[in-house]
Amino acid sequence: MSVLVVTGTGTGVGKTVVVAAVAAVAAATGRRVAVLKPAQTGVLPGEPGDAAEVARLSGVDSCRELARYPEPLAPATAARRAGLPAVTPAAAARATAELAAAHDLVLVEGAGGLLVRFDDGGGTLADVAAALGAPVLVVAAAGLGTLNATALTTEALRHRGLRCAGVVVGCWPAEPDLAARCNLDDLPVSCGEPVVGALPAGASALDRAAFLAAARAGLGPSLGGQFDVTRLAGAADWSPATQGGGAAR
């Protein structure tokens, strides 16, 4: 695939770390990778945003944002309150296409969930994916409540005729509780899509080499890694090392 759109089931689920992991693994194989964050909210001018975090973790240089708004709100609301132009899905799709012409893979990171509004016309990340004909990778939480949120997201994708590239758990806890363990089995059933990765909590604190190892261990073969959900479900104390990455050592 030349373009992959990445959405979360909500905020704070580890979407940026997942984008960085996919970028790092792809770049390590020699692919030319670009990352686009159409709308960055909650970050002041001069402060590092999600694109900068992806660049720091992955080593990918081509990481850009189209607009940023200071308040941590939905892009449409943040743009309106700041008196700044909103980013439309059409503008995001054009910028992605331009990057795709010079790169082997472009990752487009949304803001929050799939249907968060980019502009007052109701445009969303789903519209960006539709304009590009791109698959959508869903990043979900590990614990209680994730089944409903993930099922709603994948149902919205199917309703719009969009292809899901699978579900990645963005932050797998060092000591998963009963709900998290059960969710590994229940997520594919409830949302109709496979779990294609799980990144360990604290991955963003790793150095670049260790992060790459964790990314390879935490992403499935469809994303360039070696993740095996059956091994994760059976591991008493899962870490990148138990998955063969050795990043925690």
Phi, psi of 187 (to 5 degrees): -60, -50
Short-list 130, 112, 114, CA closest to 69: 112
Residue 103: closest CA among 57, 64, 66, 130:
64
CA distances from 212 to 41, 97, 142, 158 (A): 27, 27, 21, 32
* 37 is a catalytic site residue: yes
Exactly one of 15, 37, 68, 117 is catalytic; name it: 37
What SS3 class is residue 39? strand
Hey, CA dihedral for 225, 2, 65, 27, is it positive or negative?
positive
- In this structure, are residues 136 and 113 in contact, taking their beta carbons and an 8 Å threshold? no
Q: Are strands 195-200 and 3-8 parallel, antiparallel or unpaired?
A: unpaired
Q: Which positions ≥6 away from 122 have C-beta within 8 Å?
A: none
Helices (H), 72-177: 75-82, 89-100, 125-132, 146-159
Give catalytic residue positions: 37
